[in-house]
Structure 1
Amino acid sequence: MDALDILTDLENVIPFFQPIFSADEQRVIAYEVLGRYQSEGSIISLGSFFHDDSIPEEYKFEVDQLLVQKALERALKLDDDVSIYLNRDADLLMYRHGEPFLQDLLAFEKRGLNLKRIVLEISEGNYKGDFGQLDHLLQYYRTYGIKVAIASIDSDTNFFERIGQLGPEIIKINLRALKSNATAASFTDVLFSLSLLARKIGATLLFENIEMSYQLQFAWKNGGRYYQGFYLYPPSSEFIERDLLKQRLKGKFHEFITYEKKKLEAIYSAAEFFQNKVQDIIVKNKKANYEVLFTSLIKEMDQIAFRMYVCDEDGFQKSSNMFKGESGWYSQKEYIEKNWSWRPYFLENIIKMRNEGKGILSDLYSDIETGETIRTFSIPINGSDYLFIDISYKYLFENEQLL
């Protein structure tokens, strides 16, 4: 597609709209504007046009400006609580210091468009300019009520840094990575960290490229409030009825909730099982030293655990590690007096166990040494010491509700 063909035929540059659905309302709450070119009965994406570095910025701005004007003209007819997402490459956004773009928006504000409905979706992975100037411009836009979204985490090592710099109201996450088994596990770990960060800064997670049911479930489970993708509804030249998928989404969420409840019940039952089993062994070995206690635990939990140790309430290890290798259990004395209080939730869980007087089964996490996905059961054994038992992935896999 030649750039001149587009520039000399702007009448056939048209906006498409992809609906964004919310988890809380199960209805359309926004549309993302996408550029299309109509040629000989075919609809062609303008993505390659905007990503072509050989095309001068003034040409790109002219086409983008037209798309925005046509899209907002249509958006005037939407309900007042429906947002409009406008994609902007950071370099294009900085064109003429961002003033022409703002003037276009202000012109529509005079016609009744509340600028609080505008979400500026920034794509700046290849931005070579001054981030300070970009941040200043975005803060200026925010004074008019415009929100900022950042997309996305596709293999971008600076993503977390940019979130801290730009402080977006919305973080857009591309679920394309879930299609690959090679990247899915690490993607999940990164997403967990991202969801914690979003919560800290008050940002909302929007998941895009949802193409299958399991991706919608993944987005729902991982704190996604907004969703879009072909599985829900493809980009279209027309707006859709807002409640079109309400019953379907209600049904899907009911499935997700039912599954998650069963999983949580299984985790609760497992915690009770470990509590009763381990507490009984602790009571029987109340006056014994740690080595004797470990011997009794190994007899009962050989097919469940792969590591055991005791720490005091400040996180200093008071015993050796008892570790299950290929040839059986053995002692790792070099771990005595190591401190684990730096681990996330360690002290929080110590206080919880001390106050409640019973054990805790951890969330899933990757073990630092083995790299396997595990859980840890921890339990108080006297006034100041706590027993930690690492549950093997093999056991979790055999009891799949624990994964």
Structure 2
Amino acid sequence: MDPLDVLTNLEKVEPYFQAIFSADEQKVVGYELLGRIQLEDDVHSLGPFFQDESVPEEYKIEVDNDLLKKAIQRIQEEDEDILLFVNRDVNSLMADRGESFLQILFEEKENGFAIERVVMEITEHDYKGDMNQLQHLLTYIQTCGVKIAVANIGKDNSNLERIGQLSPNILKIDLRQLKRSSPSSTFFDVLYSISLLARKIGATLLYEDIEVNHQLHHAWKNGGRYFQGYYLHRPSSQFIDRDLQKEKLRSEFHRFITHEKQRLETLFEHSQQFHLKLTNLLNKYRKHSIDYNELIQLLAHDLTNESFRIYICDEDGFQQSGNVFKGENGWIIQPQYMMKNWSWRPYFLENILNMRVNKRGFFSDLYSDIETGETIRTFSYPINEKHFLFVDVPYAYLFEHDGLL
């Protein structure tokens, strides 16, 4: 499509809308504004026009502004809490300091439109200028009532530190990678990191490009509040019934919740069994006068299938034993770990307090071991008020037991 076909036929440019659904109410909360043009008997996406680097920025802004005006006129007829998500090229936005964008909003405000209904989407890693200047502009736009969404999180050169600096209201995550039969484990780690970032900065997670059920499941499981994609609804020139997918989403969520409850119950049962086994073993060895280095060697013999590393720490995180570690040729002693401190690890002191108060051992979440690189869990167990046992459980054992992965 020739860019001139767009510029000379602005009257044929029309807004299309892709519905965005909420997890809490299972209904439409907003629409992303997309551009289409009717040429002869075909409707064409304006995506190639906006992505064409040979098209001058002022022409793209002109078409963007035309679409925005038409969309606002249309969406005013909808419920007042329906949001309008508007894409803006971040470099074009900075070219005129957002003036043309805000001017349209202020003009429409005079006609009764609430600026607070607009969410401006930008892609942070496309920006080529000074980040502080962008931050100042976005802060100003937010003070005018517009919400900010940063799109394409987790792709290409996304920088979580820069995203946090921009303080967006919404983080938008592309789930197309999950269409692969075996997405990398790193992708799931990135999703988890983004969900933590969103919680820290008070942002809402919106997952887009949901085309199949398992993508929706991962979005729900990783803190998604808003969902968008062909699995729920394709872009349309018309708005839809807000409750169109309510029953579908309720049904899907019920299955997700049932599955997650079963997984947590199974994990709890494994934890109880592991706790009981360690209790029995420690009661047996307490009859003998042995130091902690002897104790972990005895436990290694009993836990040879369940563990690859065992050690004991005090309440401040200092090791009171070395490590006993299972390598290719069996268990070995690593005395050099004696008195190493692990209090710097996330949740370490919180876990110590948890064991002291509840008098029980428990599994950690899944994480990658620093030395081996494999996915593991650690079982933490209170020996007494001041000393705590840590049993690192290998991936092979987790894989063989339902609910541990």
Structure 1 length normalisation: TM-score?
Answer: 0.96
Q: Which residue, out of 396, 399, 405, partners 1:397?
A: 399
SS of residue matched to 1:97: coil
Could you say which residue in structure 2 is the equivalent of 1:367?
369
Structure 2 unaligned spans of 5+ = none
SS of residue matched to 1:281: helix
Structure 1 unaligned spans of 5+ = none
8 Å contact from structure 1 (residues 21, 30) kept in 2:
yes
1:349 aligns with 2:343: no
Deviation at 1:183, TM superposition (A): 4.8
Deviation at 1:154, TM superposition (A): 4.0
Q: In 2 relative to 1, CA 346–147 (structure 1 residues): closer, same or farther, beyond 3 Å?
A: same
8 Å contact from structure 1 (residues 154, 177) kept in 2:
no
Q: Please give the alpha-carbon distance, in whole angstroms, between the structure 1 residues aligned to 2:252 and 2:261.
A: 14
Could you say which residue in structure 2 is the equivalent of 1:35?
35
Deviation at 1:258, TM superposition (A): 0.2
Deviation at 1:301, TM superposition (A): 1.8
| CA displacement 1:208-240 (0-9 Å, x = unmatched) | 011111110101011000000111111111111
How many equivalent pairs are there? 403
When the two chains are superposed, the root-mean-square deviation of aligned CA atoms in Å is 1.5
Structure 2 length normalisation: TM-score?
Answer: 0.96
Q: Which residue, out of 295, 320, 333, partners 1:293?
A: 295
Alignment of structure 1 residues 74-153 onto 2, 5 Å: 74-153=74-153
Q: Please give the alpha-carbon distance, in whole angstroms, between the structure 2 residues aligned to 1:41 and 1:305.
A: 67
Could you say which residue in structure 2 is the equivalent of 1:226?
226
Could you say which residue in structure 1 is the equivalent of 2:314?
312
What is the letter of the counterpart of residue 50 of structure 2?
Answer: F
Q: Please give the alpha-carbon distance, in whole angstroms, between the structure 2 residues aligned to 1:345 and 1:125.
A: 32
| CA displacement 1:281-338 (0-9 Å, x = unmatched) | 1121123222432243233321111111111111111212111122211112222222
Q: Please give the alpha-carbon distance, in whole angstroms, between the structure 2 residues aligned to 1:331 and 1:41.
A: 77
What is the letter of the counterpart of residue 93 of structure 2?
Answer: L
| CA displacement 1:225-267 (0-9 Å, x = unmatched) | 0000111111111111000000110000000000000000011
8 Å contact from structure 1 (residues 122, 150) kept in 2:
yes
Could you say which residue in structure 2 is the equivalent of 1:200?
200
Deviation at 1:43, TM superposition (A): 2.1
Could you say which residue in structure 1 is the equivalent of 2:160?
160
What is the letter of the counterpart of residue 310 of structure 1?
Answer: I
Deviation at 1:130, TM superposition (A): 2.7
Q: Percent identity?
A: 55
Alignment of structure 1 residues 15-54 onto 2, 5 Å: 15-54=15-54
Could you say which residue in structure 2 is the equivalent of 1:332?
334
8 Å contact from structure 1 (residues 266, 401) kept in 2:
yes
Spell out structure 1 runs of 4+ moving beyond 4 A. none
Alignment of structure 1 residues 222-301 onto 2, 5 Å: 222-286=222-286, 287-301=289-303
Deviation at 1:269, TM superposition (A): 0.6
Q: Please give the alpha-carbon distance, in whole angstroms, between the structure 2 residues aligned to 1:24 and 1:152.
A: 23
8 Å contact from structure 1 (residues 306, 392) kept in 2:
yes
SS of residue matched to 2:24: coil
Q: Please give the alpha-carbon distance, in whole angstroms, between the structure 1 residues aligned to 2:371 and 2:188.
A: 19
8 Å contact from structure 1 (residues 91, 124) kept in 2:
no
| CA displacement 1:184-208 (0-9 Å, x = unmatched) | 3111112212211111111000000
What is the letter of the counterpart of residue 359 of structure 1?
Answer: G
SS of residue matched to 1:148: strand
Deviation at 1:182, TM superposition (A): 6.5
8 Å contact from structure 1 (residues 30, 82) kept in 2:
yes
Q: Please give the alpha-carbon distance, in whole angstroms, between the structure 1 residues aligned to 2:50 and 2:59.
A: 9
8 Å contact from structure 2 (residues 355, 361) kept in 1:
yes
Q: Which residue, out of 387, 390, 393, partners 2:389?
A: 387
| CA displacement 1:100-133 (0-9 Å, x = unmatched) | 2111111211222111111011124222223222
Deviation at 1:41, TM superposition (A): 2.2
